[in-house]
Structure 1
Amino acid sequence: MRRVVITGQGTINALGQDVATTLDAMRDGRCGIAELELRDVDRLSVKIGGQVKGYEPEALFNRQQIALYDRFTQFTLIATKEALAQSGLSFAGQLAARSGVVFGTAGGGVNTWDENYRSVYEEGKNRVHPFVVPKLMNNAAASHVSMEYNLKGPSFSVATACASSNHAMGQAFQMIRTGLCDAMVTGGSEAMLTFGGVKAWEGLRVMSKDACRPFSATRNGMVQGEGAAVFVFEEYEHARARGAEILAEMVGFAMTSDAADIVMPSKQGAARAISGAMRDAGLNPEDIGYINAHGTGTAANDKTECAAVADAFGHHANDLMISSTKSMHGHLIGGTGAVELLACIMALREGVIAPTIGYEEPDPECALDVVPNVARDAKVGAVLSNAFAFGGLNAVLALRAVA
Structure 2
Amino acid sequence: MKMASAPVDPETLVAELRARAAALGFDSFGIAPADARPDLPAKLNAALAAGWHGDMDWMAETADRRGSPQGMWPAARSVIVLGINYGPETDPLAILGEKSLGTISVYARNRDYHEIIKGKLKDIAGLLARRSGAEVKVFVDTAPLMEKPLAEAAGLGWQGKHTVLVSRDFGSWLFLGAILTSADLPGDKPLPESCGTCTRCLDICPTSAFPAPFQLDSRRCLAYLTVEHKDQIPLEFRVPMGNRIYGCDDCLAVCPWNKFASVSREARLRARPELERPALADLVQLDDAGFRSLFVGSPIKRIGLARFLRNVLIAIGNSGDPALVPLVEARLDADEPVVRGAAIWALRRLAPERADSLRLAYLAREGDSSVALEWTGDI
Q: Is TM-score (shorter-chain normalized) higher than 0.5?
A: no
Higher helix share: 2
Higher relative contact order (CA 8 A, sep 6+): 1
TM-score tier by shorter-chain length is: under 0.3
Normalising by structure 1, report the TM-score.
0.24
Between Structure 1 and Structure 2, whose CA radius of gyration is higher? Answer: 2
Normalising by structure 2, report the TM-score.
0.25
